[in-house]
Amino acid sequence: MKNSVFASDRQHKIDRTAAQGFIANLSSIAQPPLNSGVFFDGASLLKLLSGAEVTGLHYYYARGEGIGDELIVVPSTTRNEHPLVPVGILRSMAEMPRDGQGNYAPYAVDHGISWLEAGRKTRVYRALRDPQQPKGGFFGADALRRLLNQAPCVGAQFLFGADPEGVRNIVIAGVDARGNLMMHGELIELSLLCPPFCFQDNLLNSDRFLEKTALSYYQAPVPAELGPLAA
């Protein structure tokens, strides 16, 4: 399979010192994001990873009306070497939702976004990014599951970082029900960056992939919001 580089067993584990170094390096970027990271609900990520054909998650930087960057994640699958599975898309939250006592409030989780809105947000980011910076990257499923299944993890914080040369990366840490980063637990980085490791052109990674050609891309049932584009 030509995209076998996107394998479920890719090694992403790093230690706490390396993770903190990546996060500290963010200041070396000329125009860093104004937020330090974003949150994803653990159960929602595990649901994306639950399919037998899923090998991991692709993440893409996005920019909306708010301050700072967002992330869009979609599953990478072996079916037709095709990463975009209908309903398999999540938008990050700015922070972990909490109840009145400061504990995790899973009922307030909202990762919903349409494919077209995700395409617009990622396109805005690409238009503003430094050409030397990545559009996104890939994490293998095994490492993600290990992180999300460790107790007492309820979610994952995708922390924005950079390597010593200032190239952006993502450090993922578990989050407990009080919102504490689990920096002594599983930590992962070393994602495959796009570029150079990009999946086939799609709504989330390519300016050449126009919305009106979206229907020809989907091999699975077409999401409802794409229907009007057939006209």
* Share above pLDDT 90 across residues of the chain, in percent, rounded to a whole number: 48
Order of strands, sheet of 168-175, starting from the edge strand that comes earlier in the sequence: 37-41, 155-162, 168-175, 187-188
**pLDDT tier, 2 (very low <50, low <70, confident <90, very high otherwise):** very low
Q: Do 61 and 194 form a contact (C-beta atoms < 8 A)?
A: no
pLDDT at 116 over 50: yes
pLDDT of residue 221: 40
pLDDT of residue 6: 82
Q: In the numeric block, which tokens belong to residue 42?
A: 């653990």
Q: Which of 118, 105, 117, 133 is nearest to 196 (CA)?
A: 133
pLDDT of residue 227: 33
| pTM (two decimals) | 0.85
Q: Where are the domains of the chain?
A: 38-153+192-230
What is the DSSP code (8-state) at residue 20?
H
Q: What is the mean pLDDT of residues 21-31?
A: 83
64-113 pLDDT, tens digit per residue, is 776 678 999 988 876 545 444 454 789 999 999 999 999 999 999 999 99
DSSP string, 62-108: EE-SSSSEEEEEEEEESGGG----TT--EE-BSS--B-TTSSB-GGG
Q: What is the mean pLDDT of residues 160-175?
A: 94
